[in-house]
Every structure is written in C-alpha cells, then in structure tokens.
Structure 1
Amino acid sequence: MPTNPSTSRFTRLLFAGLVLVLASGCASQPADTQPDACGNVAYGYYDPAEPVNRGIFAFNRTLDDYALAPVARGYRRLPELFQSGVHNFVANFGEPKVFINDLLQGNFRRSANTAGRFFINTTAGIVGLIDVSGKLGIERHRSDFGQTFGVWNIASGPIVELPLFGTSNLRDATGRVLSFAVSPFGDNSDTVDTLGTINTVGGVVDGRAENLPLTDELRKRPDYYAALRDAVAQHRSNFVAEGKRGTPATSTHACERGEADGD
C-alpha cells in the first residue's frame, strides 16, 4: 500500500524534533510534584546562553513595544463580540493539532472531546466563530507538541530566545517549529490557505492581547527578562503537568489577584 505523503512528512518531522530535543543535553526538568493552592508545580530552567538570549530579547521587546503590543491594545478596545469571534475561530482552527497531541499523549478521552468540539463548532458554530461546544458543556483545552514531549518525559533543555517568537526552552521551541510544519488540513486548497493566513494573523494579535495583563505586570519588575523567563518556565511546567494528569489545571481567585504565586 502506498504511503500518504503528508503522513510520511509528519513522521519525519516528528522524528527530527525528537532527535533535536534529545540532543539538548542533560538539563532535565524537575520531577512533577503535587500542585499548590494555585495549581503550580515545581519548575526549573537552564540558561547557558543568557547574554545572547538577552540581546535577542532586547530586539523582540523593541518590536513588541512599537508594533505588536500597540496593535493588541487597540484590538482589546474592539467590541467584545468581535474579539470573541476571533478567539473562537483561532481556537477552533487549532483543534486538529490539539487532537493529534491528545492522541500522542495517549489521552483518548481528551481526543474525543477535541474531535467533538471541532465538528460541532465548525458546523453549528459557523467555522468556529461561535463556541457552541462550550455552551453545551464540552470545554476547550489546549495541547501542543512541546507539552507532548514533556508528557513523554523529554528534558526541557536550555532556554532559547527566538527572534519574533520570544522566550522558550529548546523542547518547546522544537515543538513550535514542528507545529508550523504540520498541516492537518493539507496544502492543496486556496480556501484552507486563506483561512490559515487569517488564523495566523488573528492568533498572533489575540494571543498578545490575552497576555497583556501578565506582561504589563512583569514589566514593573527590576529585570523584565528574568521575570518573563520565570513566568514562562512556570507556565510550561504547569502545562506539562496538566497533560500528564489529562485534566486542565484550575486557579483560585487569590492567585488571579496575585495574592499567591501564579503564572
């Protein structure tokens, strides 16, 4: 039986990603512990290239200060209905990759949840603009290749500051590159290409707007680079622990107000 080219390419990309992550060295992620009152678990980071990372961070911050953040602030002033539609569309367009990662993590209940959400929202929700599934009690969750690698107990590797993409670790950066390379919809449709472009632009702006409260708070710290690095490391550690549990983490109102340690 002939091999599907898309499947073959995905397999090669996944293998290449695994090799890159495994080659990241012995900077292992600490063993997961029981989450505290805010849902946080122990985290660690390894930043041997900090001077280089800080240089790239300065470039990224300038770009963010003068372009991305202002656009995101303008976006937050748009009608809530518009913002909700963009957010729902972006989340729905990403559900097939969430489904793939649910399967790779061996979480078949979550994969069924994701498949059901995608079918309902794509049809009844008008290409995902309306979160009909959420209204029916089928809650959304996130999953990506970086989380999958973490669920497989692959080391996080060193901190890498990527131009345009920001602070990450090698494991998550590899997962992000793999995610960009994988297209569950195929690449033979102009409609899919157009929707993909809309998704990319909408996802960048919506995601930056979502993170504005956090980054505005972190900018007040004496060392913004270190504060953001710690916040990202904590968030990703929590995210991997969530993937291992197979259920989304929850946070208390106290944490959201900053009365306890949070993301």
Structure 2
Amino acid sequence: MPITKPAPLLVRSTVVVALVALASGCTSTPTAKPGSCESVPYAVHDPAEPVNRGIFAFNRTVDDYALAPIARGYRKLPDMFQAGVHNFVANFGEPKVFINDLLQGNGQRSVTTLGRFVINSTVGIVGLIDVSGKIGIARHESDFGQTFGVWDIAPGPIVELPLLGTANLRDATGKVVSFVVDPFGDNSDTVQTLSTIKTVGGVVDGRAEALPLTDQLRKQPDYYVALRDAIAQRRADFVADGKLGAVQDEPQCPERGGANE
C-alpha cells in the first residue's frame, strides 16, 4: 500500500511555497548591503517591458492590498519583538548562506557563517538573539543569484513574474534554485514547523524592512522604472560585494535606501 503525504503537511508545504514567492517578489528589494558605499556600474536590458509592466501591475496590487498593510502594522510592534523575528529569520537562512559561501570559494566567509549559526542556534535560543553579532562576528548575506554573478554569469534580461517580482534572469534563476535547495531536509516535523514560522516571519519582516525604500520610490514619476533600476543597482553592488568576499561590518549607505539590521 503506497504511503501518501499527510494532507496537513501538504497544505503547509503549499502555503510555504506561496509565502516564499510573496517574500521574494512583492518586496522586490534585496536585503544585503554591499561592502562599500560606492556603487558599481550596471546595465538594464528590458526587451519585454510592456509584458513586464502588466505583470508588475498585478504584483503591485497584491502588495498594496495584502503585504504592505501587514508590514506597516508589524512596524508598530515593540522593537524587541521585531528584533527577535528578524534574528530568527536571518539565523534560519544561514545554512543557505553557508552553501553559497562555499560555492563562491570563500572559506573565511563560510567559517564565519557556520560559527554564527552554531552560536545563535544554541546560546541565542534558535536564533532569537544575535549573540554572534554582540561578540563581533558580523553577519553577511549571500544567495544563489550572487553566486552566479561571482561566477561571471551574465545578468540577462529583466523578467517580471507573478508574485516573484522584478529581477534579471540570473537572479530569477537563483530564486528558483533557492526554493529547491533545502539544507534541513524533510525528515522532522519540528524543522517543518520552524521553517513555516521562518517563512511567514521572513515575508513580513522583509517587507517591513523594505518599506522606507519602496515608499520613496513610489514618489517617482514611473514606479516600475524606479524600482527596476534600484534593484538592478543593488544586485550589481551585491555581486561586487560577493567578489570582494570581505568579512566585516558593512557600512550603511543612505543614498541606496539601506535599512539598519
């Protein structure tokens, strides 16, 4: 008799996939900050702009009526609560950062990431407290889109996908790969529950972190172009940061709309 996946787990997995799409798409803002406040050159190739604009209108509607209002309410919660959510989400994502550090050939960063994860997962109570940061072990971001850029894969054309948002083809592919890769496996209900909490928390916390930038860009005459170009610049800086591979406290660059972690 074949073993079937329990319905609650199947529903939960479906919800997780949908929320991850919202998190990466509707916020449309990378969270990583480059290691220098000097931006690198970037190019935007948007041959399917008319189609992309139509899909962008749908994504914006989802954001305007669902994600952004929830994120604004979240920002009114106590700072301690928001910090706990942010730290937990960041810590749960460290294994994928570790994988990308290795793929980028950066041994120093991979050791730092592994050390942070072990310390924060234990002493930091499953990552709710950033103990590593308090003792001077700085956190950095890394994802598959950055890894492809470090490998000198061309960014490709701009693509706007439903819920997945605006990205170049290289980063869009990186998002898909990230969905597939699961460092924790699928063998523990506890891990599944923590993963669900991480995803929901990441959706809200990530969108809340992006609010100052998106609110500023909405004031521009063409929000689509403003957001598209801002993402292109940030991702170009992010790839340059990956190639630099430094492990250090990263400066805040107000002109890029960076948010303090």
TM-score range, shorter chain: 0.7 to 0.9
The yes-or-no answer on 1:102 pairing with 2:75 is no
Q: How far did residue 164 of structure 1 move?
A: 1.1
Alignment deviations for residues 169-202 of structure 1 (CA, whole Å, 9 cap, x no partner) = 1100111111011100111111111111111111
Alignment deviations for residues 25-70 of structure 1 (CA, whole Å, 9 cap, x no partner) = xxxxxxxxxx998321101111111111100100011111111000
Report the counterpart of residue 164 of structure 1 in structure 2: 163
Q: Helix, strand or coil: the match of 1:175?
A: helix
Q: Distance in 1 between matches of 2:162 and 2:249?
A: 30
Report the counterpart of residue 190 of structure 1 in structure 2: 189
CA contact 1:39–1:250 (8 Å) conserved in 2 = no
Q: Distance in 1 between matches of 2:171 and 2:68?
A: 23
Q: Distance in 2 between matches of 1:242 and 1:37?
A: 8
Q: Distance in 2 between matches of 1:135 and 1:121?
A: 11
Q: Distance in 1 between matches of 2:226 and 2:38?
A: 19
Over 3 Å counting, the alpha-carbon distance change for 1:36 and 1:210 in structure 2 is closer
Q: Which amino acid aligns with 1:219?
A: R
Report the counterpart of residue 31 of structure 2 in structure 1: none
Over 3 Å counting, the alpha-carbon distance change for 1:155 and 1:64 in structure 2 is same
Q: How far did residue 88 of structure 1 move?
A: 0.3
CA contact 2:109–2:245 (8 Å) conserved in 1 = yes
Q: How far did residue 147 of structure 1 move?
A: 0.1
Q: Helix, strand or coil: the match of 2:159?
A: strand
Report the counterpart of residue 28 of structure 1 in structure 2: none
The yes-or-no answer on 1:207 pairing with 2:196 is no
Give TM-score scaled by structure 2 length. 0.82
Any stretches of 5+ residues in structure 1 without a counterpart?
Answer: 1-34
Report the counterpart of residue 90 of structure 1 in structure 2: 89
Over 3 Å counting, the alpha-carbon distance change for 1:219 and 1:249 in structure 2 is farther
Q: Which amino acid aligns with 1:121?
A: N
Over 3 Å counting, the alpha-carbon distance change for 1:249 and 1:204 in structure 2 is same
Report the counterpart of residue 124 of structure 1 in structure 2: 123
Q: Which amino acid aligns with 2:54?
A: G
Q: How far did residue 162 of structure 1 move?
A: 1.6
Q: Distance in 2 between matches of 1:162 and 1:249?
A: 34
Runs of 4+ with deviation above 6 angstroms: none
Q: How far did residue 251 of structure 1 move?
A: 4.5
More relative contact order, 1 or 2 (CA 8 Å, 6+ apart): 2
Report the counterpart of residue 58 of structure 2 in structure 1: 59
Report the counterpart of residue 137 of structure 2 in structure 1: 138
Q: Which amino acid aligns with 1:224?
A: Y
CA contact 2:120–2:130 (8 Å) conserved in 1 = yes
Any stretches of 5+ residues in structure 2 without a counterpart?
Answer: 1-33
Report the counterpart of residue 23 of structure 1 in structure 2: none
Q: Distance in 1 between matches of 2:127 and 2:198?
A: 11
Alignment deviations for residues 146-165 of structure 1 (CA, whole Å, 9 cap, x no partner) = 00000000000110112112
Over 3 Å counting, the alpha-carbon distance change for 1:172 and 1:93 in structure 2 is same
CA contact 2:150–2:239 (8 Å) conserved in 1 = yes
Over 3 Å counting, the alpha-carbon distance change for 1:37 and 1:197 in structure 2 is closer
Q: Distance in 2 between matches of 1:104 and 1:57?
A: 32
Q: How far did residue 76 of structure 1 move?
A: 0.3
Over 3 Å counting, the alpha-carbon distance change for 1:200 and 1:54 in structure 2 is same
CA RMSD of aligned residues (A): 1.7
Report the counterpart of residue 230 of structure 2 in structure 1: 231
CA contact 2:212–2:257 (8 Å) conserved in 1 = no
> What is the number of equivalent residue pairs in this alignment?
224
Q: Which amino acid aligns with 2:46?
A: D
